[in-house]
């Protein structure tokens, strides 16, 4: 298994609030959260998996100069791919790394700005059906704000519809996707993203449309493929100052 961390965004929601906290001037993955960089929380979410430093591929913006820091935080053996400019979304960023992976190897694509208990995610992958192509860790939304991607799974096991920031799906009681995405083969992800880019199949609200990862699963569902969910009780997003405030007020070590 390889874990791909796309972190080539600008983190603008923190930088515009830098007057409130000097930490917010840093690249978002390095913002200090309870004594350690935000990226460490994302990696800690996968501690249930039997992973080594060689299994991690980070995709970063060259201007952030993150490679030395990441290798210092984790290991010189991690792989860091630096790109010269931001892509058109996390799926396109992750594609750069996924194309370097054995096509038949399984992958996890993980955001760098969350923390969750990954035990159920790990168990679901280990015990997945033989024909399952993907697994998504999900939780119950804590509010009605349409800010997540969603997975509708009436039986709490198999997703029947998956979409990015979809108010209709949210109103139907869909789970929110936490921000980690498992594919049983790297080739499945690569083929889908390349096709998505070729056809310019962006998603999301008007003015913020890009190539997201979650909609790839809907395309797989449309092809008759099987996607499972892993319902997770402990999960926090860290992607905005408001998310971070909620984490700091509700997380108990």
Determine the pLDDT at residue 107: 99
2-250 topology per CATH: Spore Coat Polysaccharide Biosynthesis Protein SpsA; Chain A (3.90.550)
pLDDT digits (tens, 9 = 90+) for 75-87: 999 999 999 999 9
Q: What integer pLDDT is reported at residue 184 of this predicted model?
A: 99
Cα–Cα distance for residue pair 179/190, rounded to 1 Å: 18
> Could you give the CA distance from residue 164 to residue 130 in angstroms, rounded to a whole number?
27
Residues in the chain: 253
Reported as a single tens digit per residue, the pLDDT across 224-234 is 999 999 999 99
Per DSSP, 46 falls in state: T
The average pLDDT across 247-253 equals: 90
Alpha carbon 165 to its chain's center:
14
pLDDT for the residue numbered 201: 94
- pTM score of the predicted model: 0.96
Q: CA nearest 101: which of 60, 134, 57, 46? A: 57
β-bridge pairing 132-139 and 175-177: antiparallel
What pLDDT is attached to residue 11?
A: 64
56-71 pLDDT, tens per residue? 999 999 999 999 999 9
Query: Cα–Cα distance between 78 and 237 in angstroms, integer?
Result: 24
pLDDT value of residue 13? 84
Is 214 in contact with 164 (CB distance < 8 Å)?
A: yes
Averaged pLDDT, 93-115? 98
């Amino acid at each position: 298994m390889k874990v791909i961390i796309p972190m080539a965004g600008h983190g603008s929601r923190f930088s515009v609030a830098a007057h409130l906290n000097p930490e917010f001037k840093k690249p978002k993955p390095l913002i200090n959260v309870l004594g350690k960089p935000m990226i460490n929380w994302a990696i800690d979410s996968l501690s249930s998996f039997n992973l080594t430093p060689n299994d991690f591929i980070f995709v970063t913006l060259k201007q952030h100069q993150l490679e030395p820091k990441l290798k210092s935080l984790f290991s010189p053996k991690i792989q860091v791919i630096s790109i010269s400019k931001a892509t058109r979304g996390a799926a396109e960023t992750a594609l750069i790394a996924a194309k370097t992976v054995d096509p038949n190897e399984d992958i996890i694509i993980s955001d760098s700005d969350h923390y969750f208990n990954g035990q159920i995610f790990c168990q679901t992958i280990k015990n997945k059906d033989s024909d399952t192509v993907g697994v998504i860790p999900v939780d119950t939304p804590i509010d009605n704000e349409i800010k997540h991607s969603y997975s509708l799974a009436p039986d709490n096991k198999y997703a029947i519809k998956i979409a990015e920031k979809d108010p209709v799906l949210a109103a139907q009681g869909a789970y929110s996707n936490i921000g980690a995405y498992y594919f049983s083969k790297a080739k499945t992800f690569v083929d889908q993203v390349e096709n998505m880019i070729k056809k310019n199949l962006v998603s999301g609200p008007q003015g913020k449309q890009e190539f997201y990862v979650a909609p790839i699963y809907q395309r797989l569902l449309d092809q008759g493929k099987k996607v499972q969910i892993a319902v997770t009780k402990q999960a926090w997003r860290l992607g905005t100052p408001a998310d971070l405030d909620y984490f700091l007020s509700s997380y108990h070590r």
